[in-house]
Amino acid sequence: MTWLSIILCPKLGKDEFKSGSVVSIEHANNSFLPSYLGYFFVALSIGSAEALFFVYGILFVFTFLSQALYFNPLFLAFRFEFYNIVTNDGASIFLISRNKYKLPKDVVIKTAYRINNYTFIEKV
């Protein structure tokens, strides 16, 4: 399913990041880990499949409705990196990319696919 979501990226809206449009960048690979580990340990403690589906169903609804960051930790297996960037307009953006960015001036993206207003994926 993760591979399919990567393949379907071109169906999303497109945007771009021009030179000088990013004022700060921060690597975000480790920021999601506590949340997903929490879900994993909850799953270990549930004894029945019905309870497991119920708990994960509720977690999915709350995560979806809260407009939390949309990313799949399995993207790491596909060599994607996660970044928190701030644009010169002051918007905080979550970027998923295979590129390795270190400095704000390095972030020049001709086509970034918009997952939501604050989450983008760059498919290289």
Give the span between the Cα atoms of 93 and 109, in whole angstroms. Answer: 13
32-64 burial, b if ≥16 CB within 10 A, otherwise e? Answer: beeeeeeeeeeeeeeeeeeeeeeeeeeeeeeee
Tell me: do 80 and 97 sit in the same domain.
yes
Q: Which two tokens stand for residue 39?
A: 């879900």
- Out of 36-40, 64-68, 104-108, 120-124, least confident range: 64-68
Backbone angles phi, psi at 66, to 5 degrees: -80, -5
Q: Which two tokens stand for residue 31?
A: 């920021």
H helices of 1-124, in order, are: 2-7, 33-45, 49-65
Tell me: do 47 and 99 sit in the same domain.
no
pLDDT digits (tens, 9 = 90+) for 26-70: 888 666 666 666 766 777 777 788 887 887 787 777 766 665 555
- In a domain, residue 5? The reply is no
For tokens 């704000």, the residue is: 104
Tell me: do 83 and 109 sit in the same domain.
yes
Enclosing domain of residue 37:
33-65
pTM of the predicted model over 0.85: no
- In a domain, residue 107? The reply is yes
Tell me: do 61 and 77 sit in the same domain.
no
Q: Where are the beta strands (DSSP E) in the chain?
A: 13-17, 22-27, 81-87, 92-97, 109-116, 119-122
